[in-house]
């Protein structure tokens, strides 16, 4: 009898979660229409591959055919892929698992060719500046979850260490460029959000938090309240110093801005009866959250890591 009751409880839980996450169809239509109009694209990292979301079909498709899996060898991991140069290229770090070796790479999506920017120690969280001239990244491993912040000037092949004791690692948005490409937001060893001017090295300490992301207009920073997942996404206003609580729901694994700053694109753990019975830990879903109207709607589901990128 207790097993029957447990089964009923699971079914009711799944039904309740499904009802809560069904979302607003009007919101979904508005967001998809915006993406189509602006020719936006989204990357999701699935197990063993990278997929591109097509807003016209609201489906994902692998960027690589079967014979192109050479880009992801069995002893390598691809971290923080992001669309750039008009969505014609992808920037990512490629680390050799178990070794302190890493590469920064551009992948040309039209020619399906990789271009090595440079090779050094293992790297995390590469981020291209808005002017397309510099790449910020974390490297020089010291101890658990603490790194040094570097900036690479692409054309000059010049690498500069900006500051040490930066928190990071994993599938997180550990670094974010300001829209004018002069400053970088990061979390320090004490768990505070900081913004550093890359030229003067002047630092502004803001508030406790992790995974900072500048808003497209540079006036706000999206961040997480915890280094652990799931977490609560928050918005910090740089002018007022006030923090905005969001109603994006529970089980948030990652959140990013839409290119116009009107929406958040949120990754949550997807819970279904099938996932529960198979003990699937890779179920994810992408949710669109309207910041002003505080409405949300499910976009699509996938199996993989929580890192996404929308441009």
Map residue 109 onto helix, strand or coil: coil
Per the model's pLDDT, the better-predicted residue between 1 and 212 turns out to be 212
What is the predicted pLDDT for the residue at 279?
72
What is the predicted pLDDT for the residue at 15?
43
At 129-143, the pLDDT tens digits run 999 999 999 998 767
At 63-101, the pLDDT tens digits run 876 655 556 667 788 889 999 999 999 999 999 888 889
Residue 273 neighbours by CB distance under 10 Å: 14
Mean pLDDT of 221-231: 95
Closest by alpha carbon to 221, among 200, 249, 241?
241
What is the predicted pLDDT for the residue at 67?
52
In the chain, where the domains are located: 73-241
Would the pLDDT of 157 be above 90? Answer: no
Q: How many Å is the Cα radius of gyration of the chain?
A: 20
Closest by alpha carbon to 252, among 308, 214, 208, 189?
308
Please spell the DSSP secondary structure of 175-214, one letter per residue. Answer: -EE-TTSSEEEEEETTSEEEEEETTT--EEEEEE-EEEEE
Q: Which residues pair with 84 in a beta bridge?
A: 89
Strands across the sheet containing 243-245: 210-214, 220-224, 233-237, 243-245
What is the predicted pLDDT for the residue at 19?
42
- Spatial distance between the Cα atoms of 236 and 172, rounded to a whole number of angstroms: 18
What is the predicted pLDDT for the residue at 293?
94
What is the predicted pLDDT for the residue at 169?
82
List, as own/partner pairs, every contact residues 219-226 make where C-beta atoms lie below 8 angstroms and the sequence separation is at least 24, other chains included.
220/261, 221/176, 221/185, 221/193, 221/195, 222/255, 222/256, 222/257, 222/264, 223/193, 224/252, 224/255
Would the pLDDT of 281 be above 90? Answer: no
pTM of the model: 0.88
Residue 138 neighbours by CB distance under 10 Å: 26
Residue 146 neighbours by CB distance under 10 Å: 17
> Which of the four pLDDT bands, split at 50, 70 and 90, describes residue 280?
confident
pLDDT-wise least confident of 8-17, 112-121, 255-264:
8-17
Kindly report the average pLDDT of the chain as a whole number: 88
Mean pLDDT of 250-272: 92
> Which of the four pLDDT bands, split at 50, 70 and 90, describes residue 14?
very low
> Which of the four pLDDT bands, split at 50, 70 and 90, describes residue 226?
very high
Residue 176 near residue 127, CB atoms below 8 Å:
yes
Which class would CATH give 73-241?
mainly beta
At 179-199, the pLDDT tens digits run 999 999 999 999 999 999 999
């Amino acid at each position: 009898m207790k097993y029957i009751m447990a089964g009923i409880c699971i079914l009711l839980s799944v039904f309740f979660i499904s009802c809560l996450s069904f979302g607003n169809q009007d919101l979904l239509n508005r967001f998809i229409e915006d993406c189509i109009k602006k020719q936006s694209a989204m990357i999701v990292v699935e197990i063993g591959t990278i997929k591109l979301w097509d807003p016209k079909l609201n489906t994902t498709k692998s960027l690589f055919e079967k014979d192109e899996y050479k880009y992801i060898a069995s002893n390598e991991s691809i971290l923080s892929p992001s669309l750039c140069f008009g969505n014609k290229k992808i920037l990512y770090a490629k680390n050799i698992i178990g070794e302190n070796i890493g590469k920064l790479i551009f992948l040309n999506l039209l020619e399906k060719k990789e271009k090595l920017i440079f090779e050094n120690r293992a790297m995390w969280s590469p981020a291209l500046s808005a002017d397309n001239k510099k790449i910020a990244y974390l490297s020089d491993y010291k101890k658990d979850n603490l790194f040094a912040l570097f900036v690479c000037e692409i054309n000059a092949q010049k690498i500069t260490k900006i500051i040490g004791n930066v928190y990071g690692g994993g599938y997180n948005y550990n670094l974010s460029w300001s829209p004018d490409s002069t400053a970088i937001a990061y979390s320090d060893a004490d768990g505070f959000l900081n913004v550093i001017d890359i030229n003067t090295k002047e630092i502004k300490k803001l508030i406790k938090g992790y995974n900072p992301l500048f808003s497209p207009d540079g006036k706000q920073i999206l961040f997480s309240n915890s280094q652990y997942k799931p977490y609560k996404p928050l918005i910090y206003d740089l002018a007022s110093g006030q923090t905005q609580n969001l109603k994006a729901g529970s089980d948030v694994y990652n959140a990013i801005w839409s290119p116009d700053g009107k929406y958040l694109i949120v990754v949550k753990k997807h819970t279904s009866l099938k996932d529960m019975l198979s003990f699937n830990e890779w179920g994810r879903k992408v949710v669109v959250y309207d910041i002003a109207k505080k409405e949300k709607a499910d976009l699509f589901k996938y199996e993989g890591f929580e890192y996404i990128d929308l441009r």
